[in-house]
Amino acid sequence: MAQDFDRLEPKHIAFIKRQHLFFTASAAASGHINISPRSTALFRVLDPETVCYLDLTGSGNETAAHLLADGRMTILFTALSGPPLILRLYGRGVVLGRGEPGYEALRADAFAGPEPQGARQIVQLQLSHVKSSCGYGVPLMQYEGERDTLERWTDSKGEDGIRTYWEKKNLESMDGFDTGMRARLSKTPKP
């Protein structure tokens, strides 16, 4: 049933490419544990030991706060169609914020094309362990498509409105932990 790996195998990468959804889990030493669903449209396997995703503006910024405080993160993929499988990626994550060294180079390399409105950071995970398990208990579900709600919301806000939103909603976690955005925004002039 369960199998352990030091890195992603080709079969894992092929599985990831077929998925439409993944979950991130993170926590600091105290406070709430965060689990967030995300679309795989902005997920990339950089190499067998490194993955990342382009993180768009959200109602909170828990993952960034937890990675700054502790660094541990788990990413989970589960087959909702086809053969059952659960794939967990364990490791230490870092956040590359807009305007920080490495962000633009990685964004241009891994996420070619124009930067999506509302892009706030790239979350990169250095894998320490990969675990697969059966997924027999996961229900079958049909993929209908991506939602456009976030894109329409960020387009309606514009760059100034998104920055204001970050200043109000994304500087601290729900437990009061720093997300790193305050320091990034202080270095970046308003548009």
Q: Is the Cβ–Cβ distance between 128 and 93 less than 8 Å?
A: no
**Is residue 191 pLDDT above 80, yes or no?**
no
What is the mean predicted confidence (pLDDT) over 161-182? 96
Domain hosting 28: range is 3-185
CATH number (domain holding residue 116): 2.30.110.10
190 domain residue, yes or no: no
37 domain residue, yes or no: yes
**Is residue 39 pLDDT above 60, yes or no?**
yes
The dihedral built from the CA positions of residue 18, 7, 92 and 184, taken in this order, carries a sign that is negative
Question: What's the structural domain count of the chain?
Answer: 1
139 domain residue, yes or no: yes
32 domain residue, yes or no: yes
Query: 98-153 pLDDT, tens per residue?
Result: 888 899 999 999 999 899 999 999 999 999 999 999 999 999 999 999 999 999 99
173 domain residue, yes or no: yes
Cα–Cα dist 53/38, whole Å = 9
